[in-house]
Chains A and B, each alone.
Chain A
């Protein structure tokens, strides 16, 4: 038996889905978080049934006539009658809009139960809803629920009602018999009647002491948080606070303890093995596997704090306001405010972020957003940021914050270039976004989401990262003749052989050594690999407690082992963050862009941006700090100028194309 969850965006379908299935799908307090259909069995504790019941979570839709592609998914699913019962999740604070979709769903002939969700909020506002009358007029059962609450949430009653309904017939309160569906005019006037029906129903069943269109405290908060000039600085301060807590204060304390455990494991294995083991095997196990993976996992506590804070922020409803602030900037470069949603999702992982671009209607805007979303540092890039902020910048919060804002700046720059290249400056698009109510974020939900991310992080470290580290360790142990490289002749190893040509190109960026080039290359498999590979090639197992390491290795700290100045380190960080994302994300770009020209253009643009920005960071930074230019300035300048020249060529070509188009349309 299959039960589908359908309803308006942000009515709480996924929260309800998670509550009845025990899954941890992404939720957020804004419209359009769910973009694809998700399935899961309902927990026996809730279904009270032996037979397996599958719940299907669908993206939010306002009506059966789809406007966005997610609405299309929902319509197609419920239309194809794959569900035995539909649970229509309805936001009890907005019946006058939600019931429009309900009446459409009731016409399908699939048994339907209305879950009157968010009853805690409507109760708080003293809104009274006559359930009996509502159920009678709609001709279907109505159950009050509070999906966010742990107990007394009405979910058991809801599922019981849904199971009971299976196979039953319901008659639609409102049907379109005799309507000419081919004529848009008659369909429109019919739908107007549908709204009239809903309006009459709501006025009979709902009594609310507080009108919804009066000013509230929330509206006042909006006026400050989404203010024309204050909005962006407030966002910057919030992000800075998030990094300050996770990177500077709470994170490192927890990470210190955690890394201590990893170090003891390392020491334990070392003593267990004794001296008899071949140095090759012991290095592979200790430095390659335990050291490399340990270096990545060491950042787990720090990243968990960060994810926890971001989860709280998403739950509060603030992110929709960020979209409003960004709309003004994005619109000027031909993007829409909706482009911010993929970018917010992209802070977790770029792949679902890129996939979330489906919510954007305009094709060019959608493709531009899919191409630029990877500039926002994703979860996998956080250990890299944390490593460099910790080793070179004393865990300063500005490092992480500025990387996010640099990402946003590059997106705006990129969008400006794309709009010029494609020559669609004059194209317009509308922006409309539902503003959800602010709420106090749930600590419990943030904890659950953080734990699931932490689990994913550990699994990734123990699989892909582990295998990559082992391979890197083997490649740096042997030379091309498959002989063990001699002490002090590390440059002859396979790894050095592969990475050296790349290192040559990177000299003008301040980090032209094969070790760093190798780490950047493995980063394309997964960005955490940058940390893992650096640990393996430099034999550093502990990036967190750098003072302790300095004692162990006789005074040489991590910074001097890596031989980087702070400026070069920043340049390396910038390079790793703003070059193309991992292969999986490039694959997602390929799927969403649906066009090879866009894909290769996008990847080339990302490479170019990464190179030029790192070059500028290193050279300008070095000039400011030492008063001299860095290594390889001339070569880098030539390379950068060529890259910029190519971009200018395409921009001009795009401009000419557009002029031609305009002339054609004028003629």
Chain B
């Protein structure tokens, strides 16, 4: 009994306290990974974010202009993507930073 109550705690807490939503600032008409179809290989047009660090980091993973990327699945607000033979889980915000052709 008490176990099930405790398991619910995280989600209950979420509802009790007003959650602080993360804003997104990437706008524009370009199609991003966020809108990509599952299981289709796309070519990256650009990786754009105000955070240059993450752009550099994505580069070292092989996620940069001209490279191929696919969305494997969408799980609990995170995107599982395939880049250069590896699977990464990225959040929805980051998926908006990866623009596609």
Residues of A within 8 A of B (CB): 62-63, 65, 67, 93-97, 100-101, 188, 191-192, 195, 212-215, 219, 222-223, 226-228, 231-233, 236, 240, 320, 323-325, 327-329, 331-334, 337, 361, 398, 401-402, 405-406, 408-409, 412-413, 416, 419, 425-426, 428, 430-435, 437
Whether B59 sits at the interface, judged by CB under 8 Å, is yes
* Contact (Cβ within 8 A) B20 A419: yes
* Contact (Cβ within 8 A) B2 A434: no
Chain A's nearest CB lies how many Å from the CB of B82?
Answer: 4
* Contact (Cβ within 8 A) A100 B62: yes
* Contact (Cβ within 8 A) B90 A97: no
Assembly CA distance A325 to B78 (angstroms) = 9
Q: Which residues of A contact B76 (CB under 8 A)?
A: 226-228, 231, 324-325, 327-328
Q: Write out, one digit per residue, whether chain B residues 9-22 have a CB within 8 A of any chain A CB (1) or not (0).
A: 11101100101111
* Contact (Cβ within 8 A) A97 B61: yes
* Contact (Cβ within 8 A) A228 B77: yes
Q: Which residues of B contact A232 (CB under 8 A)?
A: 7, 10-11
Chain A's nearest CB lies how many Å from the CB of B12?
Answer: 9
Q: Which residues of A contact B61 (CB under 8 A)?
A: 62, 97
* Chain B interface residue count, Cβ-Cβ cutoff 8 angstroms: 55
* Contact (Cβ within 8 A) A416 B59: no
Whether B31 sits at the interface, judged by CB under 8 Å, is no
- List the B residue with the shortest CB-CB distance to A427: B22
Knowing A97-B84, A214-B39, A223-B73, say if A236 contacts B7 (CB, 8 Å).
yes
- List the B residue with the shortest CB-CB distance to A617: B2
Q: Which 7 A-B pairs have the closest CB atoms?
A: A409-B9, A228-B76, A63-B60, A213-B82, A398-B3, A212-B85, A435-B87
- List the A residue with the shortest CB-CB distance to B72: A219
Assembly CA distance A188 to B89 (angstroms) = 24
* Contact (Cβ within 8 A) A412 B13: yes
- Max count, chain A CB within 10 A of own CB: residue among B23, B57, B97: B57
Q: Write out, one digit per residue, whether chain B residues 58-92 have a CB within 8 A of any chain A CB (1) or not (0).
A: 11111011111010110111101011111111110
Assembly CA distance A213 to B83 (angstroms) = 8
* Contact (Cβ within 8 A) B10 A222: no
Chain B's nearest CB lies how many Å from the CB of A661?
Answer: 15
List residues of B (1-48) whose CB comes within 8 Å of A's CBs: 2-3, 6-7, 9-11, 13-14, 17, 19-24, 39, 41
Chain A's nearest CB lies how many Å from the CB of B44?
Answer: 12
* Contact (Cβ within 8 A) B90 A430: yes
Whether B94 sits at the interface, judged by CB under 8 Å, is yes
* Sample (9) of A-B pairs whose CB atoms are under 8 Å apart: A62-B57, A96-B62, A192-B65, A226-B75, A226-B76, A323-B89, A406-B9, A408-B10, A434-B87
Q: Which residues of B contact A413 (CB under 8 A)?
A: 13
Chain B's nearest CB lies how many Å from the CB of A617?
Answer: 10
Assembly CA distance A329 to B6 (angstroms) = 15
Q: Which residues of B contact A96 (CB under 8 A)?
A: 62, 84-85
Chain B's nearest CB lies how many Å from the CB of A666?
Answer: 15
Q: Which residues of B contact A430 (CB under 8 A)?
A: 49, 51, 54, 90-91, 93-94, 97
Knowing A67-B56, A233-B7, A402-B2, say if A334 contacts B20 (CB, 8 Å).
yes
Q: Which residues of B contact A65 (CB under 8 A)?
A: 56, 60
* Contact (Cβ within 8 A) B91 A402: no
Q: Which residues of B contact A228 (CB under 8 A)?
A: 75-77
Assembly CA distance A192 to B80 (angstroms) = 24
Chain B's nearest CB lies how many Å from the CB of A45?
Answer: 34
- Max count, chain B CB within 10 A of own CB: residue among A188, A331, A398: A331
Q: Which residues of B contact A93 (CB under 8 A)?
A: 85
* Contact (Cβ within 8 A) A97 B22: no
- List the B residue with the shortest CB-CB distance to A192: B64
Chain B's nearest CB lies how many Å from the CB of A355?
Answer: 22
Chain B's nearest CB lies how many Å from the CB of A557?
Answer: 23
* Contact (Cβ within 8 A) B80 A219: yes
Knowing A62-B60, A67-B53, A226-B76, say if A432 contacts B3 (CB, 8 Å).
no
* Contact (Cβ within 8 A) A240 B3: yes
* Contact (Cβ within 8 A) A324 B75: yes
Q: Which residues of A contact B73 (CB under 8 A)?
A: 219, 222-223
Assembly CA distance A188 to B66 (angstroms) = 13
- List the B residue with the shortest CB-CB distance to A429: B22
Assembly CA distance A223 to B93 (angstroms) = 20
